[in-house]
Amino acid sequence: MGYRKINPLSKARSMASITRTEITAANRAAWNASAHLHAEGEPWEELLESAARPGFSVLDPVLTAILDGLGLKGKSAVQIGCNNARELISLASFGIRPEMGIDQSSGFLAQARQLADAAGLDVRLLEADIYDLPSDVGRFDLALITIGVLNWMPDLPEFFRVTSGMLAPGGRLVIYETHPFLEVFDPASPTPFEPAFSYFERSPQEVTEAIAYDGKDHGEGETGYWFIHPLGEIVTACAQAGLGIVELKEYGHTIREPEYDLYEGRVAQIPMSYSLVAQKLTSAKGC
Ligand SMILES: C[S@@+](CC[C@H](N)C(=O)[O-])C[C@H]1O[C@@H](n2cnc3c(N)ncnc32)[C@H](O)[C@@H]1O
């Protein structure tokens, strides 16, 4: 899942005219305004019920295999941009301790609290902008970042500095995200296979529609800002934050909203998702 970009780049405000704090505040408002859409109806009721069952996990086979291979039983985890924490809570089924979820949306953290209670887990849910964390956040053995977080981040080097700072020496970072190359295409275009956006665009796109994962039109929401971060910049920002890259894998399967399904299962397949595993270097300074 991710978010359909509906406004051409030309409508986005230039980075020079909007501060990082203004961007994250706008994104917080956008997520909060859409929160109610994610806690109603059958899918939500089913999620609440299944969270209460032993062995609950929403993680797909790719992320499951990565976590299984890391030998993190008994270790502590933080999820950055945890949303309703369904993935964080799923870590318990791997024997990993889901200690903290960080998200700046109070609306989603209220849902996370309901899910954690249903699962009987004592998780610290921290409502905070990742760029403005309190000093007592702590250190963890695993930092998890999944589907649709990095594109909301206006400053990747600082994001990974903060992330690295939350890892204990030797701690792992696991990212499972939508592939940035997918950002080049617009599935709503009449010519969806023609590149519609530059992979190297620096200005954010305005997301004005309500944020939902079901592919349905839920009308207008609050304006948020969506960034294309090329894969090279993601890897470089990790490395420069004292994180040693262990593995980077690209996949042809989609983990986005249904609108993007048309790019999947093709003979000439483009990358649609990726996973990255990194390890906090014991020699990392200032992180
Ligand atoms: C796409 S959601 C994550 C969804 C999650 N991977 C899942 O599948 O349930 C992205 C989350 O990042 C959070 N977020 C965006 N910018 C943030 C920031 N600056 N600090 C903390 N959280 C942020 C949003 O509130 C949102 O809940």
Give the separation between CA 100 and CA 107, rounded to whole angstroms: 17
Question: What is the pLDDT, as a whole number, of residue 13?
Answer: 53
Q: How far apart are CA 80 and CA 99, in angstroms?
A: 12
Q: CA 270, CA 265: separation in Å to the nearest integer? A: 9
CA-based diameter of the chain, in Å?
51
pLDDT band at residue 10, thresholds of 50, 70 and 90?
very low
Average per-residue pLDDT in the chain?
A: 92
Q: pLDDT class for 284, splitting at 50, 70, 90?
A: low
| Structure confidence at residue 1 as a pLDDT band (50, 70, 90) | very low
Q: Is 68 exposed, middle or buried (0-12, 13-18, 19+ CB in 10 A)?
A: exposed
- Please report, rounded to a whole number, the percentage of residues in the chain having pLDDT higher than 70: 92
- Which atom of ligand 1 sits closest to the CA of residue 105? 25
Confidence of residue 9 (pLDDT cuts 50, 70, 90): very low
Within 6 A (CB) of ligand 1 lie 1, 24, 27, 31, 81, 83-84, 86-87, 102-105, 108, 129-131, 146-149, 152
Site to substitute for ligand 1 among 149, 151, 214, 255, most atoms within 8 A of C-beta: 149
CATH architecture of the region 9-280? 3-Layer(aba) Sandwich (3.40)
All structural domains of the chain with their residue ranges? 9-280
Q: Which residues contact 194 (CB under 8 A, 6 or more apart)?
A: 185
